[in-house]
Structure 1
Amino acid sequence: MSKPHRGGEDLRWEAIERVEATYGRRLGIGDLSLLKKLGFGDIGSVYLAELRGGGAGAGEGCLFAVKVMEKEMLVRRNKVRRAQTERDILGLLNHPFLPTLYSHFETPKFCCLLMEFCSGGDLHLLRQRQPGKRFSEHEARFYVSEVLLALEYLHMMGVIYRDLKPENILVREDGHIMLSDFDLSMRCYVDPTLVASMDINPSSFCIRPSSCLRPSCLKPTIKSRKKITSSAYGPDALPVLVAEPTTARSTSFVGTHEYLAPEIISGAGHGSAVDWWTLGIFMYELLYGKTPFKGGGGNRETLFNVVGKPLRFPEDGGVSFPAKDLMRGLLAKDPKRRLGFKRGATEIKQHRFFEGVNWALVRSGPPPRIPAAVEPAVVKEAIRACLAASVEKGGEDLGLGRCSDDRFLDFEFF
């Protein structure tokens, strides 16, 4: 049952196996204590839950996130296929920056997905807590790198994500990210291919080299041209894996208005390049504290801006040229001219903005911040204190989703 990328250190699998062995059946909703409503989406709500009866030393009191979807609602709103697609995609995933699906089960009224709980909240609220409501370039590079690797893996698995935004990027207890919420994702065919390194142009690190004020921007690394030719790009270099589902097409109008790619808005049909557009919007929001095309007059103006307004950067943003250059490449309105259209993450990772990033060891890199540890006993105590306080105030039913006590847990983070 365990996933290899967890390194055998995830006690949640052992706890689930012990519960199932004890009762001689698969895990069910009755084996969980729902502690708090964490949030809700278009097809379901997510709850913080504690596993009952895990047994001492086997992860007793393990915390999970449970997505609960009402069957009647799914049928009434024609969302059954979306729910099934999300479950199927979650079952495929085995990556350090993507969620683990521990189990799924049904009741007469509900469908439930049991996933890992991230104690650090999401990047949207984390960004709002930063000075100026934005991340430094070093911090943004960390989060963009991990999201890029997650999208690369999804594309290799034939999954186009289509809903990238800070609200869907959670922070694990170790400070690394987890991409969540796959109900808008699309499955498609992909043909992974090994491409000779010499076919990749090492000078294509700048999208607009003529506008670069520093000649060093034109160099892929600080090494000499001779060393680059004889090692990373020489005839003896290892081939590069490219797995980009470029032939996938959909005309569905899905996503969040500020993150929608132009080809989705026009209805011309879209493919995997929409994920690289959203990566550019995501990076812009982390660095500037806002998205580039949001209109003051509402969603309609935002959509017009996405299609017709040129990309501009605030003059006082303090963002480097390589960062701006990468965003220009990702936010090309013509998907065929967008960075990543042909070779996906393989060409994006070569951009100078990522200079110094060791892609093989990103998972081991130190995160910008590590959230405080969350213990089940502390969570339950915080909720009991909240409910007791509501009774003292005249019996007002605040609801679990509104309980908050900063002494125990930053509940507003969810």
Structure 2
Amino acid sequence: MYFERFLQWKMVERQPVTKYSFRQYRLLGKGGFGEVWACQVRATGKMYACKKLEKTHMKKRKGETLAHNEKQLLEMIDSRFVVSLAYTYETKHSLCLVLTLMDGGDLKFHIYNMGSPGLSSERVQFYAAQVCCGLHHLHQNDIVYRDMKPENILLDDNGHIRISDLGLALKLSGGELAQGRVGTVGYMAPEVIANEHYGMSPDWWGLGCLVYEMTAGKPPFREANERVKRPEMERRTQEEEEDYGKMFSCEASDLCRSVRLQGSLPFHTLSRPVVQVKSLRL
């Protein structure tokens, strides 16, 4: 009986993955190239998030390389702190990535819409440690993330987080450095804004911005509802120092300040802050 059941599952596994392999449910969110839907595998009943990248949108915005790059990087990753790729398929209109389902929403929603803006020091410490674990795994695989922001940190049903959206991530092989003004305004590191060469330092800068926003309930270089044009935001990031109020402990402010130094460190030392952050009490 068990051998027959084994053969049945093998037959299921050998079938090609298409849109008919899934049941589609509610819309979870929208992105620059398409939508994300909750879906269920018909054969197993397991739930996933299906990221549909519209081919026409990608072609207009020349995003084919980004989509292919994200798929390749997700295939390399196996971490409980980074979203995992389960299946891929395409339809006439879309390229589809079937990913880990995160039902708890994104971190930005929890910072601004669950009571007063900001999170408790215990939650900040918990989320920062898990983000560090996710970054550490990416850096071990020579991947620089480059898009750290609350919207890209997702929570599951149990309150644990995973890093999502690797569209701007880049594989650095052979100790090479990256160059390019990519990321989200307000979270881009000074070396990225200045179009300099960099290694993993933008990720640690983004972690500092994330810890600051979780603690203060606002981004580091502007007020919560302030609208700032891109040139002014870039000037503030490069020239001004963020303000630390009474909600910051000494350890939290020291952590946020220390990421400013990462851009001047040698490339081979840029994964060391992971060990230091784990011992901090925020």
Q: Same fold (TM over 0.5)?
A: yes
The match for 2:165 among 181, 196, 202 is 181
Are 2:236 and 1:305 aligned? yes
- Unmatched tracts of structure 1, length 5 or more: 1-16, 191-244, 357-414
1:349 aligns with 2:275: yes
Q: Once the two structures are superposed, what CA deviation does each residue of 1:370-402 show, in whole Å capped at 9, x if it has no partner?
A: xxxxxxxxxxxxxxxxxxxxxxxxxxxxxxxxx
Superposed, 1:24-35 pairs within 5 Å as 25-35=15-25
Change in 2 beyond 3 A, CA 1:44/1:270: farther
Does residue 67 of structure 2 align to residue 141 of structure 1?
no
1:294 corresponds to: 222
Equivalent residue of 1:354, what SS? coil
Q: CA deviation at 1:82?
A: 0.6
Write the deviation string for residues 251-281 of structure 1: whole angstroms up to 9, x where unpaired. Answer: x221111101111111223321010100100
3-state SS of paired residue (2:97): strand
**Which amino acid in 2 is paired with 1:76?**
K
Q: Separation in 2 of the partners of 1:26 and 1:175?
A: 34
Structure 2: distance between partners of 1:144 and 1:72: 37
Shift of 1:93: 0.8
TM-fit CA distance, 1:136: 1.2
Equivalent residue runs for 1:5-404 within 5 Å: 18=9, 21-22=11-12, 25-52=15-42, 54=43, 59-60=44-45, 62-189=46-173, 247-250=176-179, 252-294=180-222, 296=226, 297-314=228-245, 316-317=246-247, 319-332=248-261, 335-336=263-264, 342-351=268-277, 354=280
Q: Deviations over 1:112-162 (max 9, x none)?
A: 111111111111101123442111111101100010111011011111100
Any conservation in 2 of the 1:294–1:301 contact (CA below 8 Å)?
A: no
1:41 positional shift: 1.9
1:5-56 deviations in Å (ceiling 9; x for gaps): xxxxxxxxxxxx94x834952221122222122112223321111222x2xx
Which secondary structure state, in structure 1, belongs to the residue aligned with residue 146 of structure 2? coil
Specify the SS of the correspondent of 1:111: strand
1:152-206: CA deviation from partner (whole Å, max 9, x where unpaired): 110111111001111111111222111100111111115xxxxxxxxxxxxxxxx
TM-score (norm 2): 0.88
State the Cα deviation string for residues 274-293 of structure 1 (Å, max 9, x = none).
Answer: 10100100000000011111
From the superposition, tell whether residues 129 and 24 of structure 1 become closer, same or farther in structure 2 (CA, over 3 Å): same
Aligned to 1:349, the other structure's residue is in SS state helix
Structure 1 residues 355, 127: closer, same or farther in 2, change over 3 A? closer
- Name the SS of the counterpart of 1:267 in structure 2: coil
What is the rounded CA distance, in whole Å, between the counterparts of 1:343 and 1:31 in structure 2? 45
Identity %: 27
Give structure 2 stretches of 5+ with no counterpart: 1-7
Q: CA distance change for structure 1 residues 351 and 34 in 2, over 3 Å: closer, same or farther?
A: closer
Letter in 1 for 2:252: A
Change (3 A) 1:145 1:345: farther
Q: CA RMSD in A?
A: 2.3
Paired residue type of 2:255: L
Task: State the alpha-carbon separation in 2 of the partners of residues 341 and 189 from structure 1.
Answer: 12
Deviations, residues 293-319 of structure 1 (Å, cap 9, x unaligned): 1274333321110011123212x32x2
Q: What do residues 225-259 of structure 1 show as CA deviations (whole Å, max 9, x unaligned)?
A: xxxxxxxxxxxxxxxxxxxx5x4221x22111110
SS at match of 1:68: strand
Whether the aligned pair in 2 keeps the contact of 1:161 and 1:184 (CA below 8 Å) is yes
Q: Which moved more, 1:260-269 or 1:113-122?
A: 260-269
Structure 1 counterpart SS, 2:59: helix
Name the amino acid aligned to 1:159: I
Number of positions where the alignment pairs a residue of Structure 1 with one of Structure 2: 272
* 20-29 or 259-268, larger mean C-alpha shift: 20-29
SS in 1 for 2:28: strand
Q: Which moved more, 1:321-330 or 1:43-52?
A: 43-52
Equivalent pair of 1:164/1:275 in contact (CA under 8 Å): yes
